[in-house]
Homo-oligomer: A and B are copies of this chain.
Amino acid sequence: MNSQSIENYLKVIFNQAIVTDEVNTTGIAQALEVSLPSVNSMVKKLAGMGLLEYEKYKPLKITEKGRQTAAMIIRKHRLTEMYLVEKMGFGWEEVHDIAEQLEHIQSPEFFDRMDELLGHPQRDPHGSPIPNKQGHIAILEYRMLSDCKPGEKVELKALAHTSDEFLRYLNSKELALGVQVQVVEVEVYDKNMTVDYEGRREVLSALVCSKLLVS
């Protein structure tokens, strides 16, 4: 069985590999808040396990086996988040830290039961796709709200960032997944966007709009 450390490394590497296919050591160190030499030695270990391709001074590549293994951990993480929100009444800003621990539980039955009770959900509470049991992840093609033009009416589908602070900000604006948003006006100077939704009118910064994924 892989240790929690190994699982956490693999998850970070997998996520970075989505952005750019080649992953670098420094990025892993920053994401996990560990030193570069710690990453270097773990990376060699993961390579030895066939989860990564490693050559000295070259960017890392995750293998199919690594991708598969990571997908199963992410599946457990996202199922957990969904379960906590849907079945235990947590807010979407409360679930990540708990899921970060529960994703390491070794019990297929436990997660299968969550999956069943949830009716085999496709997305986690932040709109990210839940990998299926085969490790396949649906790629969701959403646009950023910041790319929308005045007059467009779109639905909030997912978030590109899920920090507690951002989620609490969205709570304060009553912005939740599924909300229909109409773009009223885009300020040319700073790209601030005036939007209407749920009978409200709000001005959202370019930063916020770039993290709201819509369709």
Which residues of A come within 8 Å of B, CB atoms? 84, 87-90, 94, 97-98, 101-102, 105-107, 109-110, 113-114, 117
**Judging by beta carbons under 8 Å apart, are A88 and B113 in contact?**
yes
**Judging by beta carbons under 8 Å apart, are B97 and A101 in contact?**
no
**Judging by beta carbons under 8 Å apart, are A113 and B89 in contact?**
yes
Copy total for this chain: 2
Contacts of A90 in B (CB 8 A): 109, 113
Provide 20 A-B residue pairs closer than 8 Å at the C-beta atoms, listed in order of the A residue: A84-B110, A87-B87, A88-B110, A88-B113, A88-B114, A88-B117, A89-B113, A89-B117, A90-B109, A90-B113, A94-B109, A97-B107, A98-B105, A98-B107, A98-B109, A98-B110, A101-B106, A101-B107, A102-B102, A102-B105
Contacts of A97 in B (CB 8 A): 107
* A103 CB → nearest B CB, Å: 11
Cα A94 to Cα B94 in complex, Å, equals 28
Cα A22 to Cα B88 in complex, Å, equals 41
Tell me the nearest residue of chain B to A102, going by C-beta.
Answer: B105
Cα A117 to Cα B117 in complex, Å, equals 16
Contacts of A87 in B (CB 8 A): 87
Given A113-B88, A113-B89: A101 in contact with B94 (beta carbons within 8 A): no
